[in-house]
């Protein structure tokens, strides 16, 4: 989609594949679309857009529904939710309320209320925005260190994606090992993506003062660990009502989850390497 960071700088390659080149080139008369101009490009791009992100009804009807629940649910947010959720993520100790999600029976199945009504519901807006902020802040950090180049940004993008995937895999592994079945994948992706909020805050503090990094990073890891432990505990509790596993095994796994945040944060926050 975009230039891989393996290209040497200065090599110019037009984007191939997904986006058709947005300008028919005059002067090449063997171009069969010579007369069609931008109309074809327009319909092409429109069709690509439709294909990538079909409407929610398409998701409901297709098989994908089993693996990827409707992503629109996760974007049903507003300003106030975002602010409060950020407070919960960054300072989970201060959250006095309960951590369970509000459920409502919809058409016979039990489903959860969307994030706009429920502070404990996961959303995908914050992870995406936090990821973007992380990329921008990584760019600034690299720039101040004098190591900025677009390929380095692409590298940070890839590292961020890998970190996100790793976090999701850890969460998914936890759910699988505990025997709970039906947690939607996008829920775990959302929980996994929340780490970028704390990470971005830590990187901002590093930009402002060099030593605060050593304070903020462990603090943010701890906060994220607490948040995830509390959330996953609730998730597992609701999933495994039948088998009564308040055993020490569950507690060990949750402890592992909390401790695994520290290396993850330090690896992602190590921008200069």
Partner 1 sequence: MAKEFSVPPVVFTPSAPTHRRHPPPGTGASPPPAFAPPRPSTSSTANPLPFMSFDVGTGASSSSPPLFAGPIGVGSGASFEDEPPLLEELGINTRQIWRKTLSIIHPFRSADPTLHADADLSGPFLFLLSFGLFQLLAGKFHFGIVLGWVTVASLFLYFVFSMLSGGRCGDLDLYRCVSLVGYCMLPMVIFSAVSLFLPRGGGLIFGVGMGFVLWSTRVCIRLLSELASSGEEHRGLIAYACWLIYMLFSLLVVF
DSSP 8-class letter at 68: S
∠ CA 97-132-85, rounded to 5°: 10
Considering only residues 49 to 108 of the shown chain, the ones binding partner 1 according to CB under 8 A are 49-50, 52-53, 55-56, 71-72, 74-79, 82
Number of residues that bind partner 1 (CB under 8 A): 61
Select 37 or 263, whichever has its Cβ closest to partner 1: 37
By CB under 8 A, residue 42 contacts partner 1: yes
Among 68, 86, 99, 148, which residue interacts with partner 1 (rule: CB under 8 A)? 148
By CB under 8 A, residue 272 contacts partner 1: no
Among 125, 191, 253, 265, which residue interacts with partner 1 (rule: CB under 8 A)? 125
By CB under 8 A, residue 196 contacts partner 1: no
φ, ψ of residue 101 in degrees (nearest 5): -85, 145
State how far the Cα of 190 lies from the Cα of 188, in Å rounded to an integer. Answer: 5
- Residue 75: its H or E element: none
Minimal distance in Å, beta carbon 210 to partner 1? 18
Among 89, 121, 142, 254, which residue interacts with partner 1 (rule: CB under 8 A)? 142
Give how far Cα 5 sits from Cα of 150, 253, 266, Å.
8, 37, 23
Secondary structure class of 109 (helix, strand, coil): strand
φ, ψ of residue 194 in degrees (nearest 5): -65, -15
Minimal distance in Å, beta carbon 24 to partner 1? 6
State how far the Cα of 232 lies from the Cα of 126, in Å rounded to an integer. Answer: 18
Q: Which residues are within 8 A (CB) of 197 and not within 5 positions of it... i.e. 6 or more apart?
A: 86, 89, 90, 126, 127, 130
- Ranges of beta strands (E only) in the chain are 103-106, 109-112
What's the half-sphere exposure (Cβ side, CA atoms, 13 Å) at 187?
Answer: 21
Select 86 or 260, whichever has its Cβ closest to partner 1: 86
Minimal distance in Å, beta carbon 41 to partner 1? 7
Among 69, 100, 133, 212, which residue interacts with partner 1 (rule: CB under 8 A)? 133
By CB under 8 A, residue 116 contacts partner 1: no
Select 14 or 97, whichever has its Cβ closest to partner 1: 14
Minimal distance in Å, beta carbon 160 to partner 1? 13
Residues in the chain: 273
Select 131 or 253, whichever has its Cβ closest to partner 1: 131
State how far the Cα of 239 lies from the Cα of 246, in Å rounded to an integer. Answer: 12
Minimal distance in Å, beta carbon 13 to partner 1? 5
Task: Enumerate binding residues for partner 1 (CB under 8 A).
Answer: 1-3, 7, 9-15, 18-19, 22-24, 26, 29-30, 32, 34-39, 41-42, 45-46, 48-50, 52-53, 55-56, 71-72, 74-79, 82, 124-125, 128-129, 132-133, 135-136, 139-140, 142-143, 148, 150, 153
């Amino acid at each position: 989609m975009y230039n891989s960071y393996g290209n040497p700088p200065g090599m110019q390659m037009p984007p191939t594949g997904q986006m058709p080149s947005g300008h028919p080139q005059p002067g090449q008369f063997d171009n069969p679309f010579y007369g069609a101009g931008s109309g074809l490009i327009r319909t092409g791009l429109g069709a690509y857009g439709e294909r990538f992100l079909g409407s929610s009804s398409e998701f409901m009807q297709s098989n994908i529904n089993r693996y990827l629940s409707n992503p629109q649910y996760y974007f049903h947010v507003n300003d106030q939710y975002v602010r409060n959720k950020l407070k919960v993520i960054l300072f989970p100790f201060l959250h006095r309320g309960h951590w369970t999600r509000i459920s409502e029976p919809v058409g016979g199945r039990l489903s959860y209320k969307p994030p706009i009504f429920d502070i404990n519901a996961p959303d995908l807006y914050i992870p995406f925005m936090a990821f973007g902020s992380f990329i921008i802040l990584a760019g600034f950090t690299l720039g101040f260190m004098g190591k900025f180049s677009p390929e380095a940004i692409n590298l940070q993008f890839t590292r961020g994606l890998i970190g996100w995937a790793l976090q999701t895999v850890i969460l998914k592994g936890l759910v699988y090992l505990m025997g709970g079945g039906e947690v939607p994948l996008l829920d775990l992706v959302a929980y996994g993506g929340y780490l970028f909020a704390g990470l971005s805050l830590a990187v901002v503090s590093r930009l402002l003062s060099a030593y605060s990094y050593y304070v903020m990073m462990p603090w943010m890891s701890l906060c994220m660990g607490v948040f995830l432990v509390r959330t996953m505990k609730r998730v597992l509790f609701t999933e495994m009502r039948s088998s009564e596993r308040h055993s020490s095994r569950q507690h060990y796994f949750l402890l592992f989850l909390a401790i695994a945040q520290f290396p993850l944060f330090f690896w992602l926050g190590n921008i200069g390497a």
